[in-house]
Chains A and B, each alone.
Chain A
Amino acid sequence: MTAQKNLASSIEDPINNVFTSEQKIAALRDMLRIRRFEQQSFKLYQQEKIGGFLHLYVGQESVAVAAVGLMSGADEMITAYRDHGHALAVGMSMEECMAELFGKATGCSKGKGGSMHFFAPDKHYWGGHGIVAGQVPLGLGLAFALKYKKIPGCALCFLGDGAVNQGVFSESLNLASLWDLPLVFIIENNGYSMGTSLERSSSIEGSLAERAVGFKMEREKINGNNFYELRAKLHNVMERARHQCKPSLLEITTYRYYGHSIADANHKKYRSAEEIHEYQKNHDPIMLWEEQLLKEGVITPSTMESLDQAAKEEVAAAILFAEASPWPEPASIFSDIYSEVDVGSDAAKRGTYFFSDTRL
C-alpha cells in the first residue's frame, strides 16, 4: 500500500502531467518486453543455447524504461553487463539481441560480444561493459564530448551497487564535478553484488548517493518501483545536466529476482526465498504500474493481456530468428579489430597486424 501511495505522490509532477496515455502504455509494453525476453533467455540458457554469463534484468525493468523514456535525441547512455533491459529499452530489436546471446552472425555484435557487450551507437547506447565500473569513466567521456561539441544533451551512466567501491568510480565523481560535466550517475541498487549484500560491501551514510557529498555533487535517492517518482526525479537531474552542465549521483533502489548470473548456483544461500517473494508480491515494478494504469483508467485488463501476449510472441519470433541464423564465419575472427584494416584504408596498407595465420 505504501508503494501505491508513493506512486501517486509524484503524479502531479510537470513531467508526469505531459506523460500521455499512449506513453504510459508504451512504458508498460517495454517493461513487459524486457521481462519476457529475460525469462525466455533463462530457459534457453538452461537448454545450453546460450553460454557464458547471463545477467538478467528481471525486477529492475522500470529503471531503464523510465530513464530511456526521458532521453532526448541529444542524450547518451552506457551501462554495465546487466545490459539487455537497457538495450531493448533504447530500441534494439529482440532478434539482434537474442542472436547475440546465441553467438550468431546476426547478433548485434556479430557474435563477438555476447550477453555483457551489447552496443547500439546509432541509438546513443554505448554498451554493455563486463568489467565492474569499467564503463564509468567512459560515461565521463560521453559527457565530456557533449560539452566539447556544445550539444545540450546529457549522458546517463548506469552502474551497480557493487561498482561504487571501485577506485575509478570515485575518480570519475571528482572529474564530473570538477569539470561540470553533463552526466547523471545512476546506481541501480539491487541490494547485492553477486552474493555480497550492500551491508557487507559498502560503508555508507544512509544512502549510496551520499558518496556524492564529498565531491560537491547533487544527489538523490529514488524508489525504483515507483514509475512516476523515477520520471520526476530523473527528469530534474537530466535537465540540470543538459542546461547547467551539473552532474548528479542517483541511487535507485530496485531488486533482481534471479541469481547474479544464471551460473549463480548460490543465490538461495545469501538471501531468503521470503525476501524474493515479498518483493515480487508487493514491490514488483510492472505489477505496480499495471495497477496504477488500471486505476487511472488508462488501460483495461484485456489490453494488458494483449500487450503481454505480443511480448511473448515477439520473443518467440526472436528465438526462431536466432536459431535459424548462421554462425559467424571463421574468417570473421580477424575483422572488427582495427577500423583502418576493416575499411582497407591507406593507413592499413603497410605492416603486419595479426601474428597468427589469418587464412582460416
Chain B
Amino acid sequence: MPLIDYKTALNQAFAEELTRDETVFLMGEEVAEYDGAYKVTKGLWERFGSRRIIDTPISEAAFLGLGVGAAMMGLRPIIELMFWSFAYVGFDQIINNAGCIRYMSGGLINVPMVIRGPANGGTSVGATHSHTPENFLANTPGLKVVAPATPYDAKGLMISSIRDNDTVCFMENTLLYGHRGEVPEGSYTIPLGVADLKREGTDVSFIAYGRALLTALEAAQTLQAEHGISVEVVDLRSLRPLDEEAILNSVSKTHRVLLIDENKPFCGISAQIAAIIAEKAFDQLDAPVLRVTALDAPAIYSAPLEKLQLPNTQRIIAKALTLF
C-alpha cells in the first residue's frame, strides 16, 4: 500500500467523491486558487474548476449557511473552515440550522453536508486559533462528529461523511496533516460509529481520538517497555455516533481505564465517556476512571508551556501508574 500523508489522504477522498458525484462541491477560504491554507485541497481547483471548488470571502456565517441551504436542495457541500476556531462566528448556522432543521421540519428535510478543518492546539497560535469544539458539536443531537487520527482513517471516514445524508463535522489537525501512513489508492469507506482497536492489551484501556491517540500509543509503548504494563488503546474515530460497545468491551477486559483527549475537561468528550462507563460498567472497574485532557485554561502561546498544556506521554504515564 502506498505511504501517503494525512492531508493527501483527505485530498484523495475529495477527488474521488467529486469525480463520482456531481452534487459534491467544496467551498471555503483559499481552498481553490491558493490550494488551501494547509494545502489539503491542493490541485483540486485545477482539476475540477471554479464551479466545484469555490473560494469564498471571509464570511463564515454566510458560507456555512449557504452550505445548509444548498444541502437542503440536495447538493453535498464540503465546507472548509480554515480553522474550526473560526466556526464560532458561524455557530448559529451549524447548531440552529444544520443541527436542528431536520427536527423542526418533522423530518421533511435533511442536510447532507460536511463541515471540516483543523481543530487543534499545539502550534503556538494562541487561544483564538487553538479551539477544539468537538464537544460543543457532539452536544447537538442532529450533528455527527468524527475525528480521525491516521491517514487511513481520514480517507475512509471522509468518503463516508460525504456520502452521509446528515451533517458531519470533520475534525482534522494541522499537526497530523504531514503524518504518513498506509492508504489504499482506490475508494473505501469506514463507517461512522465504529471505533478501532489500535493496540491490544490486558492491564488498562486508553480511550482516545485524534492526535491524542498517537500520544496514547507512544505512552503505551513506554509503559510496556519500562513498567511491564500491557495497555489496550481504543481509537474512537467517531464521537457521535459513538462506539459505546468498543469502550465497554475494553473496560470489561482490562478493568482500568484512562481517557485521553486534547479537549478541555469541563463537559468535554472525556466527561461524557466517563459518565457512560460509570453508568454501564461500574462493576467492571478496579480503579476510578481517570482522564488526561488539555489543561483547563485558554490555550497558551508560549511553546514550552503549550506542550505541557496538551496531553503528553509523561502526563499520561504518570496518570496511568496511579491506576495500579
Do A350 and B72 touch across chains, with their CB atoms under 8 A apart? no
Q: Nearest Cβ distance between residue A82 and chain B, in whole angstroms? A: 16
Encode contact with B along A317-360: 1 for CB under 8 Å, 0 otherwise: 00000000000000000011111101001111111111100000
Encode contact with A along B273-292: 1 for CB under 8 Å, 0 otherwise: 00010000000000000000
Give bound CA distance, A76 to B242, whole Å: 37
Do A109 and B104 touch across chains, with their CB atoms under 8 A apart? yes
Residues of B within 8 A of A117 (CB): 104-105
Which residue of A110, A174, A349, A352 is within 8 Å of B106 (Cβ)?
Answer: A110
Do A76 and B73 touch across chains, with their CB atoms under 8 A apart? yes
Give bound CA distance, A271 to B154, whole Å: 58
Encode contact with A along B115-151: 1 for CB under 8 Å, 0 otherwise: 0000000000000000000000000011010000000
B92 at the interface (CB under 8 A from A): yes
Encode contact with B along A50-83: 1 for CB under 8 Å, 0 otherwise: 0000000000000000000000000010100000
Which residues of A from 143 to 157 have beta carbons under 8 Å from B?
143-146, 148-149
Indicate whether A340 sits within 8 Å of B165 (C-beta atoms), given known contacts A119-B104, A119-B105: yes
Residues of B within 8 A of A250 (CB): none
B164 at the interface (CB under 8 A from A): yes
Indicate whether A137 sits within 8 Å of B64 (C-beta atoms), given known contacts A351-B243, A352-B242: yes
Do B73 and A141 touch across chains, with their CB atoms under 8 A apart? yes
A140 at the interface (CB under 8 A from B): yes
Indicate whether A108 sits within 8 Å of B96 (C-beta atoms), given known contacts A138-B65, A138-B69: no
Q: Nearest Cβ distance between residue B123 and chain A, in whole angstroms? A: 28
Which residue of A145, A346, A350, A354 is within 8 Å of B73 (Cβ)?
Answer: A145
Encode contact with A along B90-114: 1 for CB under 8 Å, 0 otherwise: 0011001100011111111110000
B44 at the interface (CB under 8 A from A): no
Q: Nearest Cβ distance between residue A183 and chain B, in whole angstroms? A: 10
Best-buried of A78, A119, A141 by chain B (most CB within 10 Å) = A141
Residues of A within 8 A of B242 (CB): 351-352, 355
| Contact size range, A | 35 or more
Residues of A within 8 A of B107 (CB): 110, 335-336, 339, 342
Contacting chain B: which of A164-172, A220-228, A281-289, A303-311?
Answer: A164-172
Contacting chain B: which of A120-128, A196-204, A237-245?
Answer: A120-128
Q: Nearest Cβ distance between residue B27 and chain A, in whole angstroms? A: 9
Residues of A within 8 A of B72 (CB): 121, 126, 138, 141-142, 145
Inter-chain pairs besides A140-B65, A347-B160, A353-B240, 19 sampled, C-beta below 8 Å: A112-B106, A117-B104, A120-B108, A134-B65, A137-B68, A138-B97, A140-B62, A141-B71, A144-B69, A145-B72, A148-B75, A175-B62, A336-B103, A338-B102, A338-B144, A346-B191, A347-B163, A350-B193, A351-B192
B interface residues, Cβ below 8 angstroms from A: 25, 51, 56-57, 59, 61-75, 92-93, 96-97, 101-110, 141-142, 144, 160, 163-166, 191-194, 238, 240-244, 272, 276
The 11 listed contacts between A and B (C-beta, < 8 Å) are A78-B69, A113-B104, A117-B105, A131-B96, A134-B92, A137-B63, A138-B68, A145-B69, A350-B191, A351-B192, A351-B240
